[in-house]
A and B are shown apart, each in its own frame.
Chain A
Amino acid sequence: MDVACAFLRVTWLRVVRTSLGKSRHPGGSVQLTATGLVPAALTLMGLVVAFHIGTASQSSPDARQWSIFGAFLMAIGGVAQAEMPPSGSRTAQASMLSHPLLLALPVTPWVRPLLALASQPSQILFPIAILVGTANRSVCSWLSAAGLGLLAVVAGAYAAGISTTVARATRWRWLVRTWPTLMLLLGICGASAMLLAAYLGPARGPAKLLTLAERALSSCSVAEIAMGWLVPFPVLIVLGAAVLRVTVRVGYDRIAMAPQLRTYPDAGSLMRIADIEKLMSSRDFARPALVVAAQIFTFALSFVGAYAAEPKLRALGQDRLGTLHALCMTVIALYSCGVAWLITRRAARSVARDLAAAPLLSTLPIEPRELLEGKASAMRFLALPFLAAMLPWIIALPASLGQEMLWRLGLVIAAFWLVAQGGVSVTFLRQSRVRQQSVSWLNVEMLLLTTPLSGIVLANSLPAGLLGLVVLGAISTEAKRASQRAMRWVDDAGDGAVRDTEVWRAMVALGVFSVFGGIGSSVLLLLAPERTRFAALAVVLASQILLGAQTVSRKGLDPLFPRGARGWLRTAAAPAAGMISVAAAAVYLLLLRRLHIEMPQTPSAAGVTRVAWLAVVLAGAPIAEELFFRGWLQPALPRELPSRWQPWTFALTAGLFASIHGPIGFVPVLVLGLIAGALRMWTGGVVAGIVVHMMHNVFAFALF
């Protein structure tokens, strides 16, 4: 109990320090940032997992599993720290003392240097926390553990501050630069030591400490651990909000303050474009809502993890496993949505910055693709800490489920690597064609990257997921290729330069929606219904909403709603057109019956699954598909086609629309597409198409 408390408190104090240290963000406000919390959270999770080496009996195969993942987590935490800026910053020492945040605090002057140092990035804290936690087994109350932890924080901060100062004052600049790497090595060494201890057994050397930990933890209830995980998050958020109010009141100048928060490394080190990108991003990127949401989500996730650590979970009957599986799938799917959002956001901001700085960049001897390359490499690691945070609870799952979730997580990490790789290219490509100053993160092209992701997340087997990865890889590579061909500083309407490739254009037009359609209609078929009803609901609805949101960025295209009374009057005729579509489908169905061709059966569904299925078929799919095909594709296609094809865009759209619906349903869906396309032209809006589509689907649903 005492050792556990010491561990938890010390690590949480570290979390508090890290997040506050990162909280003076140049977004014009003070926020807690995810990037600051993630390495700390990972370290914490690594420690908690390492504890389980002790809790599980030494002979159990679980012990090995735990220790391996404890080591893995700590390594990831180290990588995340390495990805963060070097702790050495030229102005940090001087600026911290004059920081308005610090000056605003009602403390006596002598406390300020302490606080200033405590807010320094100090990776040295990690080993100190381990030392304090393990050595201090005589600590009997959590209060003294917390006091000791605070002491460790201050000492660590001083040590870090002193070491940075010494390194800067002497010729040991390499120390400042290699600090994160050193800490990563240290983390790996620590993890290896723990591994070793776990295998050597209780009798030998360091493993004794682990036995102690085991004894301590056995007296600690799950509720206590869960509280340890849960409490600091809301406290942090409330504290952050309070600090924000104070600083805003005393005046916070983002332009004046930002450079001191994160600085260019000292002269002599090589600054790559990726580093500059990270530097600017950390100063620029600030989304309070996202950060808070991410934290609440991580917090919920941690809860799941803590709960999962409860042995009762392992003893769950087979009847409950299905629910657990669905829950896990939902969490992975939602997490993926969040990370995809983050990456697309960052890509858009990054491109916006480049566009603003174009007068400078265009005069430098640098190719746009070099910039692109640097940005992609800055993005690659973005998702890793987020996703690694999911590991603890995956490990806590029963073995069969845990293994499945593990390969799923592996797939998702690989997928995000590819998405990050292609994300900037896609945004650049879009911008080179649209050529407007404001860069939207909502763009149809980006869907090309994010939709295969849903397929990968929900793949019903490992090979299916790998196939999805191959598809995503192809798209990402093509996006990169196309952007490298298209990007140039010459931005002259008359230069005849290629602004994207044919392949890319075709991919954008066709690929996006077919993937979406596939998910919308087949996710319930792919996966056993009773195990996946939550996941299916979440993903289908998320994808539909995302698709609907895409229509926000359809600038310059025809409006979605009919204009004037005439347009609406014509729209009122939609049910009649819908009857034609239904009649055509009925005739086709009769024909099939005559020919003794069986339509594939939809899965028998009940309860929640049936409601989800109904929502998708009757409301989600018609709206989403009409928004895409009639709302976006039909008016967008003429811009990509030679003029003689242009009158036939509605037919072409209908053909593409039918082709994503499978071979047997092709004919009635084609008729539906033609009718909806004609209505789009006649009424000037997509409402009529949606009505017809819904009627068609109700008919289809009622019949099967």
Chain B
Amino acid sequence: MGVKAQRQGLTMNASSLFQLDCRADSSSAIAIRTTQLSKTYGDTIAVDNLSIDVNPGELVALLGPNGAGKTTTLKLLLGLLQPTSGHAHVFGLDCARDSLSVKGAVGYVPDEPAFYDFLTGEETLEFIAQVRGLPRARAMVELAETIAALQFEHPLTQLVGGYSLGMKKKLAILASILHRPRLLLLDEPTNGLDPQSAATVKAVLRAMSESGVAVLLSTHLLDMADRLCDRGVVLGKGRLLFDGRLQELREQSASGGSSTLEDAFLGMIRLHSEEQ
């Protein structure tokens, strides 16, 4: 039972909700492993020799300014893009080649979620459950508490075409945890959410992480990253600038007189562009 989740007023039973089968063999023990991963679009380098490891149960923030390659990295991990060079593995599966198996194990929340406009929210979840081969009724019952906590302003029985961006985002988050993924990839998960829903989402993420799910979320909200995640990965123009505890990032620049994460982050980005 997550303590922080309780603080958020949630009665989510994380251990029963997101119980995982942890009998994975050693090769697939690591949730994400990228080795020298690169992706170029024409002349633009989106991701440059990125090598990171993420273990199950870790909650990692992917930080960086606009155009740093955060979304591209997430898409490479899901197999939606083919890497120009290098490899990305999720639980030992090659993301580019075993895309289907990867998608089966991973939950993904896109930056701008889109659904079938002519299905209702419920039907969308049922459709996803159907595609993922889950018993529909069970999936919905298990999500009921999360649905209640997310406070949809319109009932889920209305067509998705009428939803606001925030509603779609919430629906996308529901959709991504429907099948109890072992890895969650989230692209700006709290974008467009009201503070209350954002808090709920954070609680859900924390609960999942505590039950052994690896979570990688891209965000530009340093505040949120600071409070939610222990570990941060900072990208700048596709290159890995920092990988470690966010506390360390703050301490690194503390010598410069400031100790907020924001200053540390901005300093690092400035330094990087000066190097270039």
Q: Which residues of A contact B (CB under 8 A)?
A: 26, 91, 254-256, 258-259, 264, 267-268, 270-271, 276, 279-280, 283-284, 353, 356-360, 362-367, 489-490, 492-495
With contacts A255-B161, A258-B118, A358-B114 known, is A492 near B104, CB below 8 A? no
Minimum CB–CB distance from B106 to chain A (whole Å) comes to 8
Cβ B80 vs Cβ A489 within 8 A: yes
- Which residues of chain B are within 8 angstroms of A366 by Cβ–Cβ distance? 100, 131
Interface CB pairs A-B, < 8 A, 26: A26-B118, A255-B161, A259-B159, A264-B119, A264-B123, A264-B126, A271-B126, A279-B123, A356-B116, A356-B117, A359-B114, A360-B113, A360-B115, A360-B172, A360-B175, A363-B110, A364-B103, A367-B100, A489-B80, A489-B99, A490-B80, A490-B81, A492-B81, A492-B82, A493-B41, A494-B41
A258 to B120, CA, bound (A): 9
Cβ A363 vs Cβ B131 within 8 A: no
- Which residues of chain A are within 8 angstroms of B117 by Cβ–Cβ distance? 284, 353, 356-357
Within 8 A of A (CB), among B74-95: 78-82, 84
Minimum CB–CB distance from B107 to chain A (whole Å) comes to 8
CB-contact partner of B120 in A259, A271, A356, under 8 A: A259
Minimum CB–CB distance from A355 to chain B (whole Å) comes to 9
Task: Check: B3 CB closer than 8 A to any chain A CB.
Answer: no
Cβ A359 vs Cβ B113 within 8 A: yes
A494 to B113, CA, bound (A): 24
Bitwise, B162-195 to A at CB < 8 A (1) or not (0) is 1000000000100110000000000000000000
CB-contact partner of B112 in A271, A357, A359, A489, under 8 A: A359
- Which residues of chain A are within 8 angstroms of B104 by Cβ–Cβ distance? 365
- Which residues of chain B are within 8 angstroms of A357 by Cβ–Cβ distance? 114-117
SS of A interface (majority):
loop
- Which residues of chain A are within 8 angstroms of B196 by Cβ–Cβ distance? none
A494 to B103, CA, bound (A): 22
- Which residues of chain A are within 8 angstroms of B108 by Cβ–Cβ distance? 363
Residue tally, chain B, CB below 8 Å to A: 46
Cβ A365 vs Cβ B119 within 8 A: no
Cβ B132 vs Cβ A284 within 8 A: no
Task: Check: B256 CB closer than 8 A to any chain A CB.
Answer: no
- Which residues of chain B are within 8 angstroms of A271 by Cβ–Cβ distance? 126-127, 130, 136
Task: Check: B158 CB closer than 8 A to any chain A CB.
Answer: yes
Task: Check: B140 CB closer than 8 A to any chain A CB.
Answer: yes
A276 to B129, CA, bound (A): 13
With contacts A256-B162, A492-B81 known, is A365 near B120, CB below 8 A? no
Cβ A365 vs Cβ B80 within 8 A: no
Cβ A494 vs Cβ B119 within 8 A: no
Minimum CB–CB distance from A240 to chain B (whole Å) comes to 22
- Which residues of chain B are within 8 angstroms of A283 by Cβ–Cβ distance? 118, 159
Inter-chain pairs besides A279-B118, A279-B123, 11 sampled, C-beta below 8 Å: A255-B159, A256-B159, A259-B157, A264-B119, A356-B114, A359-B110, A360-B110, A363-B80, A363-B108, A365-B131, A492-B81
CB-contact partner of A490 in B82, B116, B159, under 8 A: B82
Task: Check: B252 CB closer than 8 A to any chain A CB.
Answer: no
A658 to B173, CA, bound (A): 59
> Please, which residue of chain A has its CB at the minimum distance from the CB of B116?
A357
- Which residues of chain B are within 8 angstroms of A267 by Cβ–Cβ distance? 126, 136-137, 140
A283 to B41, CA, bound (A): 39
A51 to B131, CA, bound (A): 48
Cβ B116 vs Cβ A364 within 8 A: no
With contacts A365-B104, A366-B131 known, is A494 near B84, CB below 8 A? yes
> Please, which residue of chain A has its CB at the minimum distance from the CB of B107?
A363
> Please, which residue of chain B has its CB at the minimum distance from the CB of A495?
B82
A439 to B17, CA, bound (A): 42
- Which residues of chain A are within 8 angstroms of B136 by Cβ–Cβ distance? 267-268, 271
- Which residues of chain A are within 8 angstroms of B80 by Cβ–Cβ distance? 362-363, 489-490
Minimum CB–CB distance from B77 to chain A (whole Å) comes to 11
Cβ B158 vs Cβ A255 within 8 A: yes
- Which residues of chain B are within 8 angstroms of A91 by Cβ–Cβ distance? 157
